[in-house]
Amino acid sequence: MIVKEREPSNQLEMLQILDRRGDLLNPQTNTIRNRVKGFEGECQFDELLKKLKCECLIVNDLTLKISGQTCQIDSLLITSKGVILYEVKNYEGQFVCTEDKLKVLSTNKEISNPVHQLNRTTNLFRQLMEEQQANFTLQSYIVFINEAFTLYNAPVDSPFILPTMLDYHMKKLTNERRALNKSHYTFAETLKQLNQTDLSFYSFPQYDWAGLEKGAFCKVCQSELGKPIGRICECSQCGFKEVTTDVIKRQINEYLLLFPEKKLTTNEVCDWIGKLFSKKSIRSVLKKNFELKGNYKGRYYEKKT
């Protein structure tokens, strides 16, 4: 049973837009793409948890404030045996494990060993369990979800679940047949209530209008779209077809998400989409889906209340 679903936040949607429209030379580009890739890995792990046959509670994407410190938990599983905390990594390539670092073999680039972050999160969460008088055992793991990931020299007693170990781990969980009791459900609901929706665990990259690519992008493969044929836009890369008005609405929603302080006008949207569609088409979508404000010279649109 899923107690809390993982949903893309506004922040993640903004990152995905910036990934499509951002300057490839911008030093923040890799950070943005890593965040998006991380979310995709978490969603992939969600699908595995959903297939479990045992009686369990799944609590995804928690941001908790514990003893004045913020911690983020990718996935949490409550079974009759106790609580399992998962940190999900979508790394790709060949890595070597050392005590303090993971090193990428192809580049010799070093990144922090995720065990340190996992230990911090585990210790904080154990404090929370004590505060809530949740008398369950606690296990924590780092899941490497990407099949194209290889790790050398990992200690036998490490908390790593490698891609080749995932199937066995899930089968082991499925073998748990005992039923949950009221305390399990109560604790899961408590965690959901304690989730801090207004806190962000990450800093957000800076961006501006001038640094973003203008145009419209395919809903499926994110490739830039060309001019429509009649009322249909067809992606030249993947062949996906979408009604022109839907394409325009998606680009308007992206504009509003990135620039909520700007006034929504026909000219602004026309510039944002890169003059791909006529002003008449854009104005028609705005009139149908938004509320017209202002006088003749200062007209703009707002979301309908």
pLDDT digits (tens, 9 = 90+) for 91-134: 999 999 988 899 999 999 999 999 999 999 999 999 999 999 99
User: What is the model's pLDDT at position 76?
Assistant: 98
Residue 297, pLDDT above cutoff 90? no
Q: How confident is the model at residue 137 (pLDDT cuts 50, 70, 90)?
A: very high
Residue 25, pLDDT above cutoff 70? no
User: What is the model's pLDDT at position 22?
Assistant: 83
Fold of 232-303: Arc Repressor Mutant, subunit A (1.10.10)
Residue 254, pLDDT above cutoff 80? yes
User: What is the model's pLDDT at position 200?
Assistant: 60
Higher pLDDT, 61 or 203: 61
Residue 24, pLDDT above cutoff 70? no
Residue 72, pLDDT above cutoff 90? yes
Average pLDDT of the residues in 282-286: 96
Contacts of 22 (CB under 8 A, 6+ apart): 28, 29, 32, 207, 211, 212, 213
Average pLDDT of the residues in 163-177: 93
Whole-model pTM?
0.77
Residue 172, pLDDT above cutoff 70? yes
- Which segments of the chain belong to CATH 1.10.10? 232-303
User: What is the model's pLDDT at position 202?
Assistant: 62
